[in-house]
Chains A and B, each alone.
Chain A
């Protein structure tokens, strides 16, 4: 269970560029919740993910994951509990290292990294098996440098890395926004499969309202650093884009909607 209590975050405090990004946000995720997050630019979607991951500290409030207070843990220590996929396909993998080396780095998330093997043969079999589930043929290119892969392949690999060691919380920050529609669908389907299979608690930011409705069991909308809409259960299942627009008087805002 993830509990965000009274979270505040202001960027460039005390300057003309002061921006209150998160304004007293409260949010609780139950185990196994797959929550999609929508909202306009500057609503605070990515900021809240980065605050959970510890990229920068909160100004106020607390972040608790499964009873562990993470509010003041440094980013690399929180990584033990978190799986993360970023918007930029370049960001989640090391381009100059091989596919299997990247997976081996992810496999050791949360462990002490000492002088043991960086990658063992037993692991290679596991990685080959896991890569095969992506259906991209990467299992035959284990030693290829990740820099040679396409954006979609890199995102699929990052997703695999994020979930290789079961995370207590999976953070997806518009992870399909930089991909072409067909590849984006493929990566989203993979995401859905992995989340369902491993029963992962997930927070997925998206710009695409259709995806937000199609995936997950709960949808939240953010505005000005707060959660303004929270739809779950049966209501979420029946939701359509039209409903969402009607119900919350959202004009067909170009900033908000990708279609």
Chain B
């Protein structure tokens, strides 16, 4: 329990949090804006990482490899979108189907289950070897992503995507093609997730076919932590996206604390799931047990009468 160790681990946690923050923004778009729980992300984050690493190994510069990863993510989102809208499969199941098929595709992209890329031989954009630089670059990227999305969701098209999530009936009545808006939303979401996967594989120096397992839960954790902590003060859409990134950073810092206290890292995924479960339950409990006194009193009266 050396306090210096903890301090030393914090910058790394920040860098990881920023990378996952971009991924969590993607989750926010489906989960919060479109009101769809999209499980494609467990696959598309790996697709992004695999595409990026393979393109860089083939000699492409980092920016081109990341654009390639973004494109692969957009395609993954398109597949889920088509399964859901054109084939009428429930959104949750569509995501699971795409996620499963991406496992094979990711293996084919990498040709084996793990491909490493050395920061010594390749010009990586971010690496855990140079954490301050990684923090700076990912922070700039996160801000750029937020700025572009803030602009986009203010356009006519962006507004129609928000309307689709808020009220699909009303959207159709106002002439919005909700199939189209759902597909576009899913594509943007998975594009960002893949971009985050590209950053993650560079940061770690490898892409692994299993790197995406449980990432939806980490994304949700970031979204929910950000919302619980910042929703009272952040109302603007850009600030809400920022709170998602901050949520991811907080998540990784908290993890560092927990491990510093000596928890076995094997419990990582269990801990994440528990954190998400608790944060999801809090608003529910609040609504159930801490509503306005008048309502509670009426309920008690009903019970007394019953």
State the A residues within 8 Å of B (CB).
53, 74-77, 79-80, 82, 84, 86, 90-97, 101, 104-106, 108-111, 113-119, 161
Contacts of B156 in A (CB 8 A): 108, 111, 113-118
Q: Which of B162, B163, B178 has the most CB of A within 10 A?
A: B163
Contacts of A101 in B (CB 8 A): 159
> Which residue of the partner chain B has the closest CB to A106?
B174
A-facing residues in B145-161 (Cβ within 8 Å) = 152-160
The majority secondary structure among interface residues of chain B is helix
Task: Establish whether residues B155 and A117, one from each chain, have CB atoms under 8 Å apart when the complex forms.
Answer: yes
CA A114 to CA B157, docked complex, whole Å: 5
Query: 12 interchain pairs (CB within 8 A)?
Result: A76-B176, A91-B167, A93-B167, A93-B170, A97-B166, A105-B171, A106-B174, A111-B175, A113-B156, A114-B155, A115-B157, A117-B156
B177 on interface, CB distance cutoff 8 Å: yes
Contact flags (1/0) for B115-157 with A, using CB distance below 8 Å?
0000000000000000000000000000000000000111111
Cβ contacts under 8 Å, B155 to chain A: 114-118
The answer to whether A75 and B170 touch across the interface, beta carbons within 8 angstroms, is no
| Distance from B206 Cβ to chain A, minimum over Cβ atoms (Å) | 38
Known contacts A91-B167, A97-B166; A110/B175 CB under 8 A: yes
**Which residue of chain A has the shortest Cβ distance to B154 in the bound complex?**
A118
Distance to closest chain A CB from B244 (angstroms):
17
Interface size, B (range): 20 to 34
For residue B166, which residues in chain A have a CB less than 8 angstroms away from its CB? 94-97
Residue A94 contacts which of B154, B157, B167, B172 (CB distance < 8 angstroms)?
B167
B contact residues vs A (CB 8 Å cutoff): 152-160, 162-163, 166-167, 169-178
Q: Give CA–CA (A7, B245) in the complex, Å.
A: 54
Shortest distance from the beta carbon of A100 to any chain B beta carbon, whole Å: 11
Which of B163, B169, B173: most chain A Cβ within 10 A?
B173
Contact of B174 among A79, A95, A116 (CB under 8 A): A79
Asked if B163 and A77 sit within 8 Å, CB to CB, the answer is no
Q: How far is the CA of A153 from the CA of B71 in the complex (A)?
A: 45
Q: How far is the CB of A178 from chain B (nearest CB, A)?
A: 15
CA A104 to CA B159, docked complex, whole Å: 9
Within the complex, what minimum Cβ distance (angstroms) separates A113 from chain B? 4
Which chain A residues border B175 with CB–CB below 8 Å? Answer: 76-77, 79-80, 108-111
- B157 close to A105 (CB less than 8 A): no
In the bound complex, how far is the Cα of B158 from the Cα of A116, in angstroms?
A: 10
Cα–Cα distance between A26 and B184 once the two chains are bound (Å): 40
Q: Are A109 and B158 in contact (CB under 8 A)?
A: no
Question: Given contacts A116-B156, A117-B155, A118-B154, are A95 and B172 in contact (CB under 8 A)?
Answer: no
Q: How far is the CB of B79 from chain A (nearest CB, A)?
A: 22
Q: Which residues from chain A contact B174 at a C-beta distance below 8 Å? A: 79, 105-106, 108-109, 161
In angstroms, Cα B171 to Cα A135, docked, is 26
Q: How far is the CB of A115 from chain B (nearest CB, A)?
A: 5
Name the B residues within 8 Å of A75 (CB-CB).
172-173
Shortest CB–CB separation between residue B173 and chain A, in angstroms?
Answer: 5
Q: Which residues of A contact B160 (CB under 8 A)?
A: 105, 108, 113
Complexed CA–CA distance, A74 and B204 (Å): 48
- Nearest CB on B from A61, distance (A): 22
Q: How far is the CB of A151 from chain B (nearest CB, A)?
A: 15
Q: A108-B156, A117-B154, A118-B155 are in contact. Are A79 and B173 (CB under 8 A)?
A: yes
Distance between Cα atoms of A232 and B173 in the complex (Å): 29
